[in-house]
Amino acid sequence: MAQVKLSAVRKAYGAVVAVHGVDLVIDDGELVVFLGPSGCGKSTTLRMIAGLETITSGTLHIGDRDVTTLEPKDRNIAMVFQNYALYPHKTIRENLAFGLRMHKMDRAEIDKRVSEASSVLGLDELLDRKPRQLSGGQMQRVALGRALVREPEVFLLDEPLSNLDAKLRVKMREEIARLQKQVGTSMVYVTHDQVEAMTLADRIVIMKDGHVQQVGAPLEVYDRPANLFVAGFIGSPEMNLVEGRVVQGRFEADEFSIDLPKGMAAEENSAISLGIRPEHIEIDETAGDIAFTADIIEQLGAQTLCAGSAQGVGLRVMTTRRDDVHRGSGFSLRFPANRLHFFNTETGNRISTEH
Amino acid sequence: MSSKATFASFLIIGLLITLVLIAAPVVYAISLSFYTMDSFVADPDWIGLANYTRVLSTSAFWNALGNGLVYSISTIALQVIIGIGIALVLNQTFRGRNLVRGLSILPYLLPTVVIVLTFKWMVDGSIGILTRAIAALGLPPIHWFESPQAAMASSVMVSVWLWTPFVTTAFLAGLQTVPASLYEAAKVDGTNAIQRFYHITLPMLKPVLTVVVLLRAVWTFNKFDVIWLLTGGGPVGSTEHLAILSYTTAFTKFDIGGGATIATLSFLFLAISVFIYFRIFPLDEEES
């Protein structure tokens, strides 16, 4: 177990820069999720930690060791790949034992570790089979087992659940979280699925175009997104973002107008964006501020999601289940001041408010 | 025409072609081995298995079988080793890779006679580039077609030259189906390049290897033109294998029955070898 420290880690392919200087400390035993859309540099960063990509500049430490230029095998890491990467011609037992054999471990110790891992992951029945005889979920567990037996300083997981169906994904997600807490080893987990990130992570690193956008605990990035990108990326359904201007201490977009929080640092007439999550908009039939007409109603079971317009601005509103709303239903909405987010439209950065 | 009739007509055409072009000549050739004939126009006399006992008791037959095995095994071994080596290089990323890949297939596209003549020119006693290179190195001259070992070596070399591109192409296709993540997983698991070759590349190439060795074995064992053009089976039968022995027996000694017998025995030997090969290396590895 060890701390992982990235200092200005950068990756360039010729003139194309894939990762622009990442600074990050992953604490011992911490589960950090790299989250972002395709091509944001999250997998490249993970692969640089693994040693599968060279680091163009910057340094990488695992524990006290500078591993920047070391081969993957000398970094004491274990990795789980998106397509599992199990050796197809080897049995499950051989797959689990292979890394230990290559590290010239004692036979008895290999057997002990393989049997421990296989019982933890429920692989006992599968040990003499070949990977092609396994289901996707079973292969995923073998891939996890292969990492587990190595007892590395860091686990690296590259979109490990993206090849599984939705139901299995939830189950495996829980299993990974349980395993990580059980063994207490630092883990770096790459995903493009924000639900996975929110549920698994101790901290989330959100990336876009090779830049780190925000690093924080799941609720921290949910409650205080650092910029427009994070605001739109975290949360499902995604945050309502409305572009407008500051006019006499109010936020205005078309007919839509709302009071700005007191003490907010925004110049008159500057272009700002208002953000509010659909679940934070309240329906108040009597004392609401803004009239809303629903166009589309999505019944999700426990909740009802309404998409519609409020004074010329498209909004989505999520409430606890309401059976009485239909297309064309009108409501009065309230925007709790402590749930509002404001961003500089040009830079995308969050504008700090008092709350 | 109904679909049944269409199906039947295609089937009949296929069967007729097989019958006329493959089955009939094979059956005819095998049947010739039970007769004695002085020429192709003479009346055949039935002699049962007498040709077989006669052929099997000659040293020429066993010499040709031995030569065929030495020629085939060394040719295939070299082709596989060189073919995998070149395929591994061509599978790397480098500038001009597609051009090099295209060029590497060239020898396979050339007629055998061109390759053989080029080789003969290269080892020509006075102007040959190989002869001169050997002389420049201060080594004794090699009598390519006069020494039995050198004649066999030149037959093997020319065959390797001619057919390695095919083997390379097959292995290259095989290599491209190996997911890069397997190599990455093996790197993380602590392997070096040689271990990755043994633990990933070779097992992943096994299906291609099985087919390539089989095809090359059948083709090489029956290969006639390279040796015929290069050495004619000489010197003194040192490169004569069963295909050449069968030809010379039937067409230069006009022992038609004897030639047919050698061809039939060669066919039987290959059939049994292929059967054993498939028992050892089954193509379908699915386990129940």
Give per-residue pLDDT as tens, A48-86.
999 999 999 999 999 989 999 999 989 999 999 998 999
Q: Which of B183, B189, B208, B287 to mutate to test the interface with A (most CBs of A within 10 A)?
A: B189
pLDDT for the residue numbered A178: 87
Contact B181 A85 (CB under 8 A): yes
Between residues 71 and 110 of chain A, which touch chain B (CB distance below 8 Å)? 71-73, 77-79, 81-83, 85-89, 98-99, 102-103
**CB-based contact A98:B199 (threshold 8 Å):** yes
User: Is A351 among the domain residues?
Assistant: no
* 3-state secondary structure labels for all residues of B156-168: HHHHHHHHHHHHH
In a domain, A354, yes or no: no
Residue B157 inside a domain? The answer is yes
Element containing residue A70 per DSSP (H, E): none
Query: How many domains, in total, are found in chain A?
Result: 2
- CATH number of the domain that residue A287 is part of: 2.40.50.140
Q: What is the pLDDT of residue B285?
A: 58
Is a pLDDT exceeding 80 seen at residue B40? no
Q: Are residues A199 and A261 in the same domain?
A: no
Q: Which residues of A touch B188 (CB under 8 A)?
A: 50-52, 72-73, 77-79, 99
The whole-angstrom separation of Cα B112 and Cα B155 is: 12
pLDDT at B1: 59
Q: CB-based burial of residue B128 (10 Å sphere; 0-12 exposed, 13-18 middle, 19+ buried)?
A: middle
Q: Spell out which residues of chain A touch residue B184, defining contact as CB-CB under 8 Å.
A: 50, 52, 72, 79, 81, 85
Residue A180 and residue A311 in one domain: no
Give the strands of the sheet with A4-13, arranged side by side: A16-26, A4-13, A57-62, A65-66
Res. B4: pLDDT tops 90: no
Q: Of A161, A196, A229, which residue is a domain's last?
A: A229
Q: Under DSSP, is residue B192 helix (H, G, I), strand (E, B) or coil?
A: coil
Is residue B210 predicted with pLDDT exceeding 80? yes
C-alpha radius of gyration, chain A, whole number: 24
Decide if B35 is inside a domain. Answer: no
Is B7 part of any domain?
no
Residue B174's pLDDT is what? 92
Domain presence at residue A48? yes
Nearest to B171, CA basis, from B95, B104, B74, B115: B104
- Please check whether residue A194 is in contact with residue A37, taking contact to mean a CB–CB distance below 8 angstroms: no
pLDDT of residue A175: 87
Q: Which residues in chain A are closer than 8 Å to B191, comparing Cβ atoms?
A: 73, 102
Of B179, B189, B204, the CB nearest to A98: B189
Of all residues in chain B, what percent carry a pLDDT higher than 90? 41
Q: Are A163 and A81 contained in the same domain? A: yes
Nearest by CB to residue A52, choosing from B184, B189, B199, is B184
**Cα–Cα distance between B151 and A268 in angstroms, integer?**
96
Q: Both A257 and A181 in a single domain?
A: no
Q: What's the pLDDT score for residue A287? A: 67
Among A209, A229, A249, the domain-final residue is: A229
Residue A93: per-residue pLDDT: 93
Which residues of chain A does B200 touch, with a Cβ-Cβ cutoff of 8 Å?
87
Same domain flag for A252 and A198: no
Of A78, A83, A88, the CB nearest to B188: A78
Residue B123 belongs to a domain: yes
Query: Any CB–CB contact under 8 A between B198 and chain A?
Result: no
Rounded (10°) CA dihedral B141, B143, B144, B148: -130
Q: Tell me the per-residue pLDDT of A211-267, one tens digit each, with 9 for 90 and over.
A: 999 999 999 999 999 999 999 999 888 999 999 999 888 898 888 888 888 777 778
Q: Are residues A165 and A28 in the same domain?
A: yes
Q: Across chain B, what does the average pLDDT equal?
A: 88
Q: Which residues of B touch A142 (CB under 8 A)?
A: none
Instruction: Note whether A75 and A121 are same-domain residues.
Output: yes
Q: How many domains does chain B have?
A: 1
| A290 shares its domain with A188 | no
Encode pLDDT of A164-217 as tens digits. Answer: 888 888 888 888 888 888 888 999 999 999 899 999 999 999 999 999 999 999
Verify that A214 and A126 share a domain, yes or no: yes
pLDDT band at A328, cuts 50/70/90?
Answer: confident
* DSSP β-ladder status, A16-26 and A4-13: antiparallel
Closest CA to A297 of A288, A306, A289: A306
Chain B residues near residue A77 by CB distance under 8 angstroms: 188
pLDDT band at B288 (very low <50, low <70, confident <90, very high): very low
The pLDDT assigned to A214 comes to 95
Tens of pLDDT along B74-99? 999 999 999 999 999 998 888 888 89
Nearest residue on chain B to A47, alpha-carbon basis:
B184
φ, ψ of residue A226 in degrees (nearest 5): -75, -25
Classify residue A352: in a domain, yes or no: no
pLDDT band at B237 (very low <50, low <70, confident <90, very high): confident
User: Domain check: are A206 and A292 in the same one?
Assistant: no
* pLDDT band per the 50, 70, 90 thresholds, residue B230: confident
- In a domain, residue A349? The reply is no
B54 within some domain:
no
Please say whether the beta carbons of B212 and B173 come within 8 A: no
Which chain A residue's Cα is nearest to B206? A89
Give chain A's mean pLDDT: 90
pLDDT of residue B287: 42
**Domain membership of residue B108 as a residue range:** 60-280
Whichever domain contains A17, its CATH number is 3.40.50.300
> Bridge-partner residues for B46, per DSSP?
B35
pLDDT above 90 (res A91): yes
Residues A187 and A59 occupy one common structural domain: yes
- Check whether residue A113 and residue A134 sit in a common domain: yes
A316 assigned to some structural domain: yes
Q: What is the CATH number of the domain that holds B261?
A: 1.10.3720.10
Q: Do A73 and B185 touch (CB under 8 A)?
A: no
d(CA B221, CA B242): 8
* Residue B216 to residue B229: CA distance in whole angstroms: 20
In this prediction, residue B50 carries a pLDDT of 82
Query: What is the chain A residue with the closest CA to B179?
Result: A85
Name the closest residue on chain B to residue A91, using Cα atoms. B287
Instruction: Report CA dihedral (A49, A52, A55, A56) to the nearest 10 degrees.
Output: -150
Question: Does a structural domain hold residue A311?
Answer: yes
pLDDT for the residue numbered A11: 94
> Which residue on chain A is closest to B196 by alpha carbon?
A102
* Residue B44 maps to a domain: no
Number of residues that make up chain B: 288
Number of residues in chain A: 355
Q: What is the mean pLDDT of residues A280-304?
A: 86
Which residues make Cβ contacts (< 8 Å) with residue A179, sequence separation at least 6?
A: A120, A144, A148
Question: Chain A contact for B179, CB < 8 A?
Answer: yes
Asked whether residue B10 is domain-assigned, the answer is: no
> Percent of chain A having pLDDT more than 70?
98
Region B22-50: what's the mean pLDDT? 83
Residue B18 lies in a domain: no
Contacts of B135 (CB under 8 A, 6+ apart): B141
In chain A, the percentage of residues whose pLDDT exceeds 90 is: 61
* Residue pairs spanning A and B at CB distance below 8 A: 59
Going by C-alpha positions, the residue among A78, A19, A67 that lies closest to residue A43 is A19
Domain containing A250 equals: 239-344
B181 at A interface, C-beta within 8 A: yes
